[in-house]
Structure formats: C-alpha cells, structure tokens
A and B are shown apart, each in its own frame.
Chain A
Amino acid sequence: MDLENQKRVKEFAEQYGPENIVVLLGAAEGEASGLAAETVTAGDPTYAGPLTGVSLGLTVYHVCEPEVKAEFDDAVYDEQVSMMEMVLDVDDIISEMSAIRNEHCKYLG
C-alpha cells in the first residue's frame, strides 16, 4: 500500500478510534487486495511504511464483496462498479479478503 495512504489510515484510526473505521479497497486483483488488507490489519508486510509493525486490525472489505455490494444503492453500484465487477476475479478477491479478515481483523461484528 502507498506510503501516503498508510499514513492517512493510521491518522484516521488514531483520530476516530480503530473500531469506527472501515477500509474499502478497489484493487484490481486478489493478491493486491490481500496485501492492502494485511497492511491495515496485521501491519505493512513490506516493512516500508508507517504501518510496519502496527497491527490496527481494522475492518476491511473490497468493494466487490457481497457484504459491501448489499450496502449500495443498486443504481449507483451499476453506474460505478458493475463494469469492473465483470472484469475482476471476484471469487479470488473474496477468498483473499476473507482469509485476511478472519485472521487479523479485531472488530468484526
């Protein structure tokens, strides 16, 4: 995850409390989604950014996961996301994201 984004996520977690933050990803593939999810839960796996060694355990989803899709107005989702949903390997993304969430997320309801 971009170092600047790591910094922003860390600052938001401090400002609003980690239990009140949901990180929404739009990465184009499972592996990249998993890496970003790992960064905001277990810490930066590349040991490069401000989240190195910081396990925030934030709630994190990819925008194409069914839990998130259900929250959207159908028309907005159709206009903004449905094209990419057709292009992406959604099953792979769900499997990567679920694995990371189950292992590292501290605030699942």
Chain B
Amino acid sequence: MKSVIKGAGYILVHTPDMVLHNGTTQTTERIVNPESEYLKELPSHIRSFDKALSYWPNQVYIGNKHPDELSAVEQPWCDKDCDVNDRFGPFGQIMPQEEFLLLMQACDVFGLVKLEQGFVNAHRAALAANPIMDESILARVPEAQTEAAEIKRLVDEEHSEALYHNGELVGCVTRAHDIDVNLSAHVMHENLVSKASSVMALLSAIKNAGISKDDVEYVVDCAEEACGDMNQRGGGNFAKSAAEIAGLNNATGSDARGFCAAPAHAMIEAAALVASGAYKTVVVTAGGCTAKLGMNGKDHVKKGLPIMEDMIGGFAVVLTQDDGVSPEVNLDMLGRHTVGTGSAPQAVISSLVTNPLDKTGLKITDIDKYSPEMQNPDITKPAGAGDVPLANYKMIAALAVKRGELQKADLATFPAKHGLTGWAPTQGHIPSGVPYIGFARNDIMAGKVNRVMIIGKGSLFLGRMTNLFDGVSFVIQANTGAEQSGVSEEEVKGMIAKAMKDFAATLMADAQ
C-alpha cells in the first residue's frame, strides 16, 4: 500500500509581546544584565502586525508567494514590503497576537489562562470571524472573564506568567502546581502556545486536504516542547490534546521527539503507519516555540534591524492511503544518520542524501529539489550563522562532484537549480525540511518537479544525553498510478495446482 500527501497547513502567529517577555535571549538578559542597552533598545525594533504581514518570507510560509519568487527578491528582505500582505493564504494564515491569546484560552482545559474581561470583549468577534474556528472552539472562551486587579494579583503574588498585548497586562497563565516546576506557569505558558498553534495548523491542514475531521485516525506531534509532571517530565501527549480541541473525535495520537529532525522522523513514521494499513489517515503536526522568539535579537538590534523572530510557527501534513493523484512518500529510499555514521559533514550528507539514492540507483541530480534546513537567511546571516540552506546545497553539490555526477563548473549553479531559498522562521523544528511539503505537493501535481527530498537534521547534544548528530530524509514523488491489486484468480488457481503437484511429487519420492 502507498501513502500520499493529501494536504498541508502552515500557520504563523505574530507575538511581539512574547518576544520581550518569553524569548530566552531576553529572559536570560533580564536575569544577568537587567540594565543592559539591549533591553532598552529592543522595544523600538519590534515590528507591527502590518509589517509582519508584508514581510516576504511570511507570505511565502502561508503560500501566497512561491519560494522561486522569493529567490528573485534581492536580500535583505526586512527593508522591503511584499506586494501581497494578506493574513490568509492557501496554506494557512498569520494570526495577530490578540486573537491568539483567546485561542490559547480555548485550548486550555484546566482554567489556567485568565484574560481581562474588556480584552476578551474587544477581540472575541475577531476570533469568531476566523474561517478555521467553529462553535465548539469558540464556546471554550467563557463569557465571564477576570478583572484586571485580580490578574495583577495573580502575577505579583501567585507566580503567574503575565500575558501582555501592546505592552499592557491583559491576562496571565497560572501555575498548575504549587511546587512542581514541570507544571509552573512558565512551562504551562510555553506548552499552551505550542498546543494552540498546533491546533491552528491541524485545522488548516485538514481544511486544505479536503477531508472530514472524522477521517483522522492518528496524530503525531513533532514539536520540541515536553509536557508532563515531576514523575514523567515528557509524558505527553500534545498530539491527542490538540486533536481534542480541533475536534478530531476518531483520532488518538502520540508525540515524536528528535530536536529539529523530529518532523522528518514523524513524516516517515506517519507514512509507514498508512502504508502498513495500520491507519488510513494520519496527521503530522507541530506548534511553535516561545523560547526561540528573538533568539538572535542582540545581533539584529546591534545591526539596526527589526526583530524578525517575532513569529510563532506551526505546520501540519495530512497523509492518507493512495488516492491515485496525490504525490506519494517513497519508503524504499529513506536516508538515516545512524549511530555509526560519525559527525564529519561528508559522512552526514552521504548518509542522508546518497545512501538512499544508491538504494534505487538514482543520481544526486535526479532529485529535482532538495529541502534541508530552510531557515530564513534574512534572520541567520546578520547573526553570523550564514545562509543555512545554501550551505547545505553547496555540500550536496560537492558530493555530486566527488561522485562524478556533476561537473565542477556546475557547482555554482546547483543551489539555484536543485535548491530553494530559505523562508522559514528560526523556530527549531519548523524550518527542518517540512516547510516545502505544501509547495512540493502543488509543484509535483502541476508537473513542475517530479521528485523532491526532504531532509531533517537535529543537534542532539543540546539535551546532554549524547554527542551524536541526527538526521533522516525521505523522497516525495509524483503518484505512480494505481497499485497492482495483488494476484488474479487464474494465478491463484495456477499456484494451488503447482503446490498440489509438488506435494504429490514429494509423496511419491517418499514412497519410493
């Protein structure tokens, strides 16, 4: 059985106040250097929602612009306005902070998110007008909310995590336990943001795939947060909790973790679950990460740039059994960085790119587009991290030259021909290969490309459990048509006759 990409959803949330109050670069600075110039300077570098909408990479992320169009725009992009600034796109939407805070409350089933009455009254209608919302979600935002004085008391006296909008205290997330740090207000805030953005991605992907919510049998969450208590810190289960809010009543699910490589792992697992027949429809989903907001803010402020890491990202991909037209995941050519692969870049790229190609006799140039780490270079270059996708393409091209599959003279043109310009927010797992799946589906079905490789990589050393690197890759290709429906009746009869004949021959041989 084959598994196909039925649809994908990509969402962003503009969270300027969370940059200031929840990004770890800022929270760390507030602890070690509270009077720093950076913290004073930072607020004047925060973008408005309109500016976030007209930012080229954001319009690419939700599908209003194609990566090919982005690559034709001269960098830097932060000083240019995209000619499209719609908050909705074919893949999803860009949600403003005020709507998202209400959605966070809708996603909280333990009454931890408190919002100020006037704030909710002012923004409820906007959330209700959002095309992916329905009555069941909206009904989760209660009519009676909290008074401003009580919110201030909860923040000042009860260790609640404050929720700001335009610099004003408009709510808080209370702690879920008095002493367990895993259920602290800070952790609950981080997890509820991840969950709410995952719900947005799930709803967008299901709408785009044109399936019923009841069709979904399994959800795999591949974000980078952990939910649990002091007895099981990463117990889970983001997948099922988001599925509950999204109304996927026939689904269960589980969380897959592997740092930035997790989405690629989750895609392979989901494709295999469908191909094996275990489940007919599986959705891979991930919400975003507050900790990474403003991660490279110091460099951006120092260089007089706006804070571009003000977006929470999310994505979801729907995989179903073969429909005869949607692009399929080829499970016969999976790339794996194994324990024994080592950490030399050459070994890493070989394990992820050429090893799987060798299984089916393909050359590096037989893959039309590679999608490795798709970080937006507008964000990474000023921070000294270079152009991450381009660095990957150069390595793949160099390997192709070494294998005699590419002329050395063509090294320079390989990235434009077989690569993409990065557009994804630096939210860890979000850029990791998967942002291209939505475009890949469209491009393959339009006949623009035939075969694409998605590559996920992860830095496992950050968890201090191993120094090993990690990564997996898979290929999405044009639908190869109807599958062989097994063997015909004639063939079965022939097989039985042959077996009987062989059995008789054995008996005769024994008798002799």
Question: How many chain-B residues does the 8 Å CB contact rule pick out?
Answer: 15
A2 to chain B, nearest CB (A): 10
Q: Which residue of A32, A82, A83, A84 has the most chain B CB atoms within 10 A of its CB atom?
A: A83
Q: Contact: B344 with A82, CB < 8 Å?
A: no
Chain B residues contacting A82 (CB-CB under 8 Å) are: 346, 402
In the bound assembly, the distance between CA atoms of A87 and B414 in angstroms comes to: 12
Contacts of A83 in B (CB 8 A): 345-346, 349, 395, 398-399, 402
Query: What mask results when residues 73 to 102 of chain A are scored 1 for a CB within 8 Å of chain B, else 0?
Result: 000000111111011000000000000000
Interface residues of B in 312-364 (CB under 8 A from A): 344-347, 349
B148 at the interface (CB under 8 A from A): no
Q: Which residues of A contact B398 (CB under 8 A)?
A: 83-84, 86-87
Interface residue SS majority, chain B: helix
Q: Does A1 contact B (CB under 8 A)?
A: no
Are A86's CB and B401's CB within 8 A?
Answer: yes
Assembled-state Cα–Cα distance A103/B398 (Å): 34
* B373-406 vs A, Cβ < 8 Å mask (1 yes, 0 no): 0000000000010100001001100110110000
Contact assessment for B386 and A80 in the assembled complex, using a CB-CB cutoff below 8 Å = no
Cβ-defined contact, A87 with B347, below 8 A: no
Shortest A76–chain B CB gap in Å is: 10
Q: With A84-B398, A86-B401 known to touch, is A79 a contact of B391 (CB < 8 Å)?
A: no
Task: Name the residue of chain A whose CB is nearest to the CB of B345.
Answer: A84
B411 proximal to A (CB < 8 A): yes
Q: Is the CB of B386 within 8 A of A28?
A: yes
Closest Cβ–Cβ distance, residue A14 to chain B (whole Å): 23
> Is A81 a contact of B394 with CB atoms below 8 Å?
no
Nearest neighbor of A84 in chain B, beta-carbon distance: B345
> Scoring B residues 417 to 440 as 1 if CB is less than 8 Å from chain A, else 0, what string do you get?
000000000000000000000000
Taken together as a complex, chains A and B put the C-alpha atoms of A51 and B402 apart, in Å, by: 39
Q: How far is the CA of A83 from the CA of B386 in the complex (A)?
A: 19
User: Whole-angstrom distance between the alpha carbons of A84 and B397 in the complex?
Assistant: 11
B394 contact set on A, CB distance < 8 A: 87
Q: Please, how many angstroms separate the alpha-carbon atoms of A83 and B395 in the complex? A: 7
CA distance A28 to B344 in the complex (A): 12
For the complex formed, measure the closest distance between the CB of A66 and the CB atoms of chain B, giving whole angstroms.
19
Q: Tell me which residues across on chain A come within 8 A of B411, comparing CB atoms.
A: 86
Complex contact A84–B386 (CB within 8 A): no
B346 A81 Cβ-Cβ under 8 A: yes
Contacts of B384 in A (CB 8 A): 31-32
> Which of chain B's residues have a CB closer than 8 A to the CB of A11?
none
Tell me if A29 counts as interface (CB < 8 A to partner B).
yes
Q: How far is the CA of A24 from the CA of B411 in the complex (A)?
A: 27
Q: CB-CB < 8 A to B402: which residues of A?
A: 82-83, 86
Which A residues, 32 to 57, have Cβ-Cβ distances below 8 Å to chain B?
32
B260 to chain A, nearest CB (A): 18
Per-position 1/0 for A1-39, Cβ under 8 A of B: 000000000000000000000000000110110000000
How far apart are the CA atoms of A98 and B153 in the complex, in Å?
A: 61
B342 and chain A: residue at smallest CB distance: A80
Complex Cα–Cα for A86 and B386 (A): 17
Knowing A83-B398, A87-B398 touch, does A29 contact B346 (C-beta < 8 A)?
Answer: no
Given contacts A28-B391, A81-B346, A83-B395, 19 further A-B contacts (CB under 8 A): A29-B386, A32-B384, A79-B344, A79-B346, A80-B344, A80-B347, A81-B344, A82-B346, A82-B402, A83-B345, A83-B346, A83-B349, A83-B399, A84-B346, A86-B398, A86-B401, A86-B402, A87-B394, A87-B398
The 6 tightest CB contacts between A and B, nearest first, are: A86-B398, A83-B346, A80-B344, A87-B394, A83-B398, A87-B398
19 contacts between A and B (CB under 8 A): A28-B386, A29-B386, A31-B384, A32-B384, A79-B344, A79-B346, A81-B346, A82-B346, A83-B345, A83-B346, A83-B349, A83-B395, A84-B344, A84-B345, A84-B346, A84-B395, A87-B391, A87-B394, A87-B398
